Amino acid sequence: YVWPSPYDFLEDAYTVSSGFADGGIVDGVNPCSFEPIGGRLAGRQAAAEWLRLAYHDSATYNIETGLGGLDASIGFETNRPQNIGRSMNDSLVFFAAFQSKTSSMADVMALGVILAIKNCGGPSIPFRAGRIDAESGGPETVPEPQQDLESHTSAFALQGFNVTEMIGLVACGHTIGGVHQVDFPLSVEGAITSSNPDGVVHFDSTFDSFDNRIATQWIDGTSVDPLAVGFNETTNSDARIFAADGNRTMQAFAQDPDFFSAQCGSLLERMLNTVPKTVQLSEVIEPLPVKPFELFASLASNGSLVLSGYVRIFGTSAAAAAASPANMPVTLNWKDRNGRTNASYSTSAVAVSQTSGSLWGSVHFFQVSAAIDASLGISSFVVDWAYDNSGTLTHSDNGGAGFPFQDVALHQPDKSCRGDDLTTTIYAVIRNDMGPVTDAYVEYTSNVNHVGSISVKQVTIRAPLAHVGNSTSLLYDTYNATFPTYPDGTQTDEGRITFDVVAVIGGETYVSLSNPEVFALC
């Protein structure tokens, strides 16, 4: 895809997993053994909890009706016996922080699982976005360990998975994590200690590695899986499932770790992409090689435009990994508002001193700060860059047309502020030399409790921008809008707040997209 896109936030979170501009999701599952709630719950494993959560959410799918699947309906289902334990709500609370106008809970869950599995040494699962959160719970179709093989086979068939695929999915799910005595006393006993307060018994000896150990131990008779060799025959559902095809699938997994990894990759991809039939998923989202990050233009006190923010460069090559950002030439060349280029429409971006990490390659950030003559303006830019000073420059033009950039409706972040009375005031400047401004407003998206679920849902309000007067430039007028930070009173601090600044002039709409929440006090 090309920038800007509604998927930019998810792409950022997918791509950057540590350091500067850290997306923040991987921090919840790094290392793979990491306990939830910032490492405070001994014996529990966030990565495993996320994967179980996503499975239980997707398990409401019905292939005959095309309803259910990964739609965050799990938020309304956590009080069911099938979903026993604190883990599901803990995971949902973690994910809620990443919900926004452009990232549903179901998308964040899918992304979380993909990042967690990769970080645990598992396969690279392609990520698609576009899931829509359900408004209520789904049917009670999550399999339970005391059920017989026939029930499990038909439950998986209803979700669209045959017997071989059921064996695969269960083995891929049960290669990390384990069973907790506090929640499953019929399957685990004598495991609770002071350092293991929930009494977890892992499925295999490498619970913190997404590997084929679950299969090798099952095949060579050293399995420790409480749902396979547990004291209670009735709840040994893994044993019944693993042997459902005479152990053929488990044997193949045990023999070939690459086969296991590849099968898990494609089965889990299908599981995560099991969505209600009305939902259209996006194309696969992969890191863009060059992408702006938090790049915006505003009007300075001397009347010139200032372009500020960052450019991100991502690559998977050895050169990308070896590059030292301080030695990378990165130049941003823009076109003025009439589409013209000029040698002086250029600025060097400076390497950000803090490094960044990605699970998928190497990622480097460069800071942009350029004054632009307001009368000339800007309409798009390209980035010319190389991994070292002697290298030939790569010309990145965002798929051909350059990175589009409008200079008509600009948020003024240094003026916008929050009142003590929980109001937010957004300041903007809008060009005054293009004809009458027929409409101007802020579209502000915040989060309200999703009653019945611990996740949140988004509410967007439109606040008209009122004309205030002049600005520091003869070419721009100042506008502002004041509205409640939590517009309908039931807002929560969870989830991300973003807003767009919009101006309509001569039938054209100009938007300053996805500005971050305002915290400065008035």
Contacts of 505 (CB under 8 A, 6+ apart): 408, 430, 431, 434, 435, 436, 437, 438
Residue 178 engages ligand HEM in binding (rule: CB under 6 A):
yes
Stretches 170-178, 369-377, 400-408, 494-502: which one binds ligand HEM (CB under 6 A)?
170-178
45 counts as binding ligand HEM under rule CB under 6 A: yes
Structure-derived torsion over alpha carbons of residues 183, 187, 190, 194, reported in degrees to the nearest 10: -30
Contact present, 254 and 215 (Cβ < 8 Å) = yes
Nearest approach, Cβ of residue 218 and ligand HEM (Å): 15
Number of residues that bind ligand HEM (CB under 6 A): 26
Residues paired with 418 in a beta bridge: 424, 521
Exposure string of 181-214, with b = 16+ CB inside 10 Å and e = fewer, is: bbbbeebbeebbeeeeebbbbbbbebbbbbbbbb
* Rg (the chain; Cα; Å): 26
> Is residue 35 part of the contact set for ligand HEM (CB under 6 A)?
no
Closer by beta carbon to ligand HEM, 120 or else 513: 120
Nearer to ligand HEM, 56 or 431 (CB): 56
Strands of 350-351's sheet, edge to edge?
290-299, 305-315, 362-372, 350-351
Taking CB under 6 A as the binding criterion, the range among 22-30, 167-175, 364-372, 478-486 that sits at the site for ligand HEM is 167-175
Residue 487 corresponds to which tokens in the numbers above?
């517009």
C-alpha distances out from residue 391 to 326, 328, 355, 388, 394, Å: 14, 9, 21, 5, 9
Q: How many residues are listed for the chain in this entry?
A: 522
Site string for ligand HEM, 201-230 (x = CB under 6 A): --------------------------x---
Structure tokens at 262: 């590849």
Taking CB under 6 A as the binding criterion, the range among 44-52, 311-319, 324-332, 449-457 that sits at the site for ligand HEM is: 44-52
- The verdict on 90 binding ligand HEM (CB under 6 A) reads no
Q: Residue 70 Cβ, how far from ligand HEM at the closest point, in Å?
A: 12
User: Binding of ligand HEM at residue 112 (CB under 6 A)?
Assistant: no
Of the pair 177, 402, the CB lying nearest ligand HEM is at: 177
173 sits near ligand HEM (criterion: CB under 6 A): yes
Residues 50-79 contacting ligand HEM, CB under 6 A: 51-52, 55
Helix residue ranges per DSSP H, 256-368: 257-272, 318-322
* Closest approach of ligand HEM to the CB of residue 418, in Å: 39
Instruction: CB nearer to ligand HEM: give 172 or 518.
Output: 172
To the nearest 10°, the Cα dihedral for 467, 472, 474, 479?
-10
Beta strands in 80-195 (DSSP E): 178-180
- CA distance to 159, 408, 431, per residue, from 298 (Å): 51, 10, 12
Rounded-to-integer distance, Cα 203 and Cα 241, Å: 14
User: Which residue from 67, 172, 250, 503 is in contact with ligand HEM, where contact means CB under 6 A?
Assistant: 172
* Only segment of 91-99, 180-188, 374-382, 428-436 that touches ligand HEM (CB under 6 A): 180-188
Binding mask 406-445 for ligand HEM (x = CB under 6 A): ----------------------------------------
The residue ranges that bind ligand HEM (CB under 6 A) are: 45, 48-49, 51-52, 55, 85, 87, 143-145, 152, 169-170, 172-174, 176-180, 183-184, 227, 237
